[in-house]
Structure 1
Amino acid sequence: MQTSSFPIVIDGQLLPDKAHALAQQLNIPLMSPSNTEKDKPVMKLGWWQDGKKSGDDIGETDYKLALFPPNTGPVYVDFVTGKKNHRRQFGGGKGQPLARAVLAAEHPTIIDATAGMGGDAFVFASLGCQVTMIERSPIIAALLQDALNRAQQNDTPEEIQEIVSRLSLINDDATQYLTNQTPICDVVYLDPMYPEKKKSAATKKDMQALQHLVGPDMDSETLLKAALHVAQKRVVVKRPKNAPTLVGIQPNASIQSPNTRYDIYAIKALKAAGKL
């Protein structure tokens, strides 16, 4: 469901055939000349080329599917370079709070039920885990799928290809998917979208794009309930450090980081206490 405060259109200036196919897939109109008027700001979805190559050196795999919000630069997902790969190399490995919260076994199978831009899922995969990403926004899912496709090209380092091979993507409402499909996994990870802060100048542009597209998650408690009936070992919920826990069953433990808290719901302990 599209909840952006701006109309969304497909920019077909680059790769017009792909743009036309994407417009049909997502049921989003192609950009018309009227969309360029300053009094009608739009959020565009199209392809971006970073300028490192030019002329005959540019192939279709050098273009990244990106969102172009009216007030920021392109927002895209990249598993090969940039912040995600830097985090993989220097983020602390298994010792980082996120990994300590989620690694209930040596290489647990994980469902990231709120995949977003795929940052945490990539961390899990880099630690050897098989990860299913669930993203309910068709537009964000398209960005993720484009990044997965690019990361599987022959010119991608083998180490990244191996990590990305452990990632799979489902475009669906996570609560409905967990309830109807009842998949088997060790861990379900939840990172609900929080209400947008009034002072959002420092908010990262990819987070701003997510907030514009999907808004805050109003069904987090329902999703937690569904996750608790699917996970075999634990459910982990990412929260702002001082935020209250989600309504319902209380977590068994928490792991703190400077700005974030990971609430852990250990399935075995909850069942032993008669809470599940």
Structure 2
Amino acid sequence: MAAPHTDRAAARSFARSLGTELFETAPAAGLYLWLDTDGLALCRAGRPPMCMRADFTRGAQGYRNARPGQRREAIARACGIRGDHCPWIVDATAGLGRDAFVLATAGASVTLLERSAVVHALLVDGLQRATAGGAADRTARMDPHHADAVEWLAQDFRDNPPAVVYLDPMYSGQRRAAAGKELALLQALSMPATDESALLRQARATALDRVVVKRHRHARPLADQPPDYHLPGRSTRFDVYRTRTD
């Protein structure tokens, strides 16, 4: 991890928590974490380097979240947010938390699960900066966990299971350039592939009301399991699997 112009003790402690070394400058090749006054970023060496960070208040994400009407977004409608009804949602494939932030902005309490320690660190850093930057009312409704989703969802929830489990597995196909760069960096982390069948099966066994899966509009249903219905968009769709039996 490279950390110029930062608190050295804090940076050293942070690097130790991730099991990585601390350097003054970026390496000439490969992936590395970059920590500066703008926050934590995952980068791949090059000219220029390719970097990504979780940022909820600036750029395209900041513009999206500054607009009114998050409850009218397809993701909020798919997750059942309406009127005074703001269900507890588990985002089981949280990534950098963008969709979870939209759901929290719409009023839902969101538990975010991320199995990659590096991506989880990026997510936590982004939430901390968003809190300091004036979004504390939304980040207070977001609870990030470094956890395997299948294992976490299998715990005994007694009489209080999450109403909704939201899934956004990485998919291939045409994506916006920025999203393509981010996908390339995530794939470069070489994480083991998700068992989509096991993830969907556990999500359906856990969610009280529904499971919502984000898919490319032309992609097959997750694990080839047809949903009860879907909400289409221009480039993505939201497949909804109802789990309530009453």
Asked if Structure 1 and Structure 2 have the same fold, meaning a TM-score greater than 0.5 normalized by the shorter chain, the answer is: yes
The worse-fitting range, judged by mean Cα deviation, of 171-180 and 22-31 is 22-31
Deviations 1:230-255 (A, max 9, x none): 11110001111111112364311011
TM-score normalised according to structure 2 size:
0.86
Counterpart of 2:2 in structure 1 is 11
SS of structure 2 residue aligned to 1:116: coil
Deviations 1:18-57 (A, max 9, x none): 2221221111233488x744xxx121212134xxxxxxxx
What is the identity, as a one-letter code, of the residue corresponding to 2:93?
Answer: T
Indicate whether 1:227 and 2:203 are aligned: yes
The match for 2:18 among 26, 40, 50 is 26
Please give the alpha-carbon distance, in whole angstroms, between the structure 2 residues aligned to 1:73 and 1:133. Answer: 25
What is the identity, as a one-letter code, of the residue corresponding to 2:231?
Answer: I
Counterpart of 1:244 in structure 2 is 220
SS of structure 1 residue aligned to 2:222: coil
Counterpart of 1:211 in structure 2 is 187
Structure-2 change in CA distance of 1:149 and 1:98 (3 Å): same
Please give the alpha-carbon distance, in whole angstroms, between the structure 2 residues aligned to 1:244 and 1:31. Answer: 44
Please give the alpha-carbon distance, in whole angstroms, between the structure 2 residues aligned to 1:218 and 1:210. Answer: 13
| 1:1-276 superposed matches below 5 A | 10-15=1-6, 16-31=8-23, 36-37=27-28, 41-49=29-37, 63-71=38-46, 72-90=49-67, 92-103=69-80, 106-153=85-132, 156-157=133-134, 160-182=135-157, 184-195=161-172, 202=177, 204=179, 205-214=181-190, 217-247=193-223, 249-268=225-244, 271=245
Please give the alpha-carbon distance, in whole angstroms, between the structure 1 residues aligned to 2:182 and 2:36. Answer: 15
SS of structure 1 residue aligned to 2:34: strand
Contact 2:116/2:191 (CA < 8 Å) preserved in 1?
no
What is the identity, as a one-letter code, of the residue corresponding to 1:149?
Answer: Q
Contact 1:116/1:210 (CA < 8 Å) preserved in 2?
no
What is the identity, as a one-letter code, of the residue corresponding to 1:187?
Answer: V
Deviations 1:216-240 (A, max 9, x none): 7431111111111111110001111
TM-score normalised according to structure 1 size:
0.78
Please give the alpha-carbon distance, in whole angstroms, between the structure 1 residues aligned to 2:141 and 2:176. Answer: 35
Question: Structure 2: which 5+ runs fail to align?
Answer: none
SS of structure 1 residue aligned to 2:155: helix
What is the identity, as a one-letter code, of the residue corresponding to 1:48?
Answer: D
Structure-2 change in CA distance of 1:119 and 1:254 (3 Å): same
- Cα RMSD between the aligned structures? 2.5
Contact 2:81/2:108 (CA < 8 Å) preserved in 1?
no
The worse-fitting range, judged by mean Cα deviation, of 242-251 and 217-226 is 242-251
Deviation, structure 1 residue 203:
5.0
Question: Structure 1: which 5+ runs fail to align?
Answer: 1-9, 50-62
Contact 1:14/1:46 (CA < 8 Å) preserved in 2?
no
